[in-house]
């Protein structure tokens, strides 16, 4: 029996209340902080309108750069690269500054994801030029898609590695997109090669080649339409380019030799002044050299010869032209009569070897 006095009324100790549960620790506790209204609008604009504007501007600039490569060198390409760096880098710094002023935690994450998406999307420009892609999506849509993918991923995830995950997903998507474009281009090139090989094997007459140590083939195609007679064309470029021949090329065309005209001349003399035509023509053995000139300025030359029975070869100059088809260089001092001496009939399988060499 206890002798301890009873506690006074109302003094019974009540059970202690349970302590508040401690917040969970670990990766689950790190979630993206809420954004203010200004920060939300910054994210929306930077994810949608900004990529579309950058993509559209550089898409148009890429067209000018491509024309510049064809007609005036690398100047436009350098300007395009500088513009891309300025737009992407400037946008990154601007959005980073705005988010810092809005007090957003880790303000560098979102601009970095968007800038990475745009930089990877812009890789589409050199791929289109190098691979001659015709079916790739428009650059503005590529920029928008990768930016949205990265931003949505960054906003949706709630663990500490969401930034790395968003970047990894953007990189993977860009590699997949460009890889599919590369695969499509390679497959298209293979189909074109097989089609050209079939056209050459079915060509009805012999094909001429230019067997000169100073010139090498750069392309080949077969023409067969209602406008122009069927022919096989091989383009040539200098083996050792010089400033005088920069951008200059030759085209060797093989086609059937038609019958004589009413005047007695063969088609080797087509458009010649000997038949009241506009071109000055001279005979050099079995070759006819035709010259199209504007006064003293030569614009175009052809060497025409019957290299085998019933088949003629036409060796044509191919100077670089501007968009108005006007020559952009002074006509080089080139001996077409001497070059025509190197025209011969292709050996069995030689035309196919040229196709494989110029399409790889």
Q: Give 28's DSSP letter.
A: G
User: Given this model, what pLDDT does residue 166 score?
Assistant: 92
Q: What is the 3-state secondary structure (H, E, C) of 67-117?
A: HHHHHCCCHHHHHHHHHHHHHHHHHHHHHHHHHHHCCCCCCCHHHHHHHHH
pLDDT at position 88 is 92
* pLDDT, one tens digit for every residue, the chain (360 residues): 444 445 555 444 444 444 444 444 444 444 445 555 566 777 787 788 889 999 999 888 888 777 776 666 677 788 888 999 999 999 999 888 988 888 778 888 889 999 999 999 998 888 776 666 666 788 899 999 999 998 898 888 877 888 999 999 999 999 998 888 888 888 888 998 999 999 999 999 999 999 999 999 999 999 887 767 789 999 999 998 777 787 789 999 998 887 555 555 567 888 887 767 788 888 888 899 999 887 778 888 999 999 998 899 999 998 876 444 455 567 788 899 999 999 999 999 999 999 999 887
The DSSP code for 55 is: H
CA distance 281 to 309: 22
């Amino acid at each position: 029996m206890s002798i301890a006095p009873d506690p006074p009324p109302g003094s019974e100790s009540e059970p202690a209340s349970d302590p508040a549960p401690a917040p969970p620790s670990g990766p689950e506790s790190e979630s993206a902080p809420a954004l203010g209204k200004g920060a939300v609008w910054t994210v929306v604009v930077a994810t949608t309108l900004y990529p579309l504007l950058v993509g559209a501007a550089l898409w148009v600039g890429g067209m000018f750069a491509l024309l510049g490569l064809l007609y005036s060198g690398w100047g436009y390409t350098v300007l395009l690269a500088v513009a891309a760096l300025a737009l992407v880098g400037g946008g990154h710094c601007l959005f980073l500054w705005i988010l810092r002023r809005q007090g957003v935690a880790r303000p560098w994450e979102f601009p970095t994801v968007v800038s990475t998406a745009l930089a990877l999307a812009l890789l589409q420009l050199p791929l289109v030029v190098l691979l001659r892609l015709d079916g790739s999506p428009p650059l503005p849509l590529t920029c928008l898609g990768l930016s949205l993918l990265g931003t949505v991923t960054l906003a949706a995830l709630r663990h500490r590695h969401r930034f790395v995950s968003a970047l990894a997903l953007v990189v993977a998507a860009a590699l997949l997109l460009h890889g599919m474009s590369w695969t499509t281009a390679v497959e298209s090139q293979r189909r074109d090669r097989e089609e050209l090989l079939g056209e050459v094997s079915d060509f009805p007459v012999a094909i001429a080649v230019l067997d000169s140590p100073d010139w090498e083939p750069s392309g080949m195609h077969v023409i067969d339409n209602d406008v122009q007679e069927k022919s096989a064309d091989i383009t040539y470029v200098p083996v050792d380019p010089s400033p005088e021949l920069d951008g200059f090329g030759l085209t060797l065309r093989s086609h059937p030799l038609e019958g004589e005209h009413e005047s007695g001349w063969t088609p080797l003399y087509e458009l010649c002044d000997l038949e009241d035509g506009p071109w000055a023509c001279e005979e050099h053995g079995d070759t006819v050299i035709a010259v199209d000139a504007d006064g003293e300025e030569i614009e175009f030359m052809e060497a025409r010869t019957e290299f085998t029975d019933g088949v003629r070869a036409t060796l044509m100059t191919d100077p670089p032209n501007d968009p108005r088809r006007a020559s952009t260089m002074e006509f080089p001092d080139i001996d077409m009569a001497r070059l025509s001496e190197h025209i011969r009939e292709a050996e069995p399988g030689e035309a196919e070897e040229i196709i494989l060499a110029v399409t790889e």
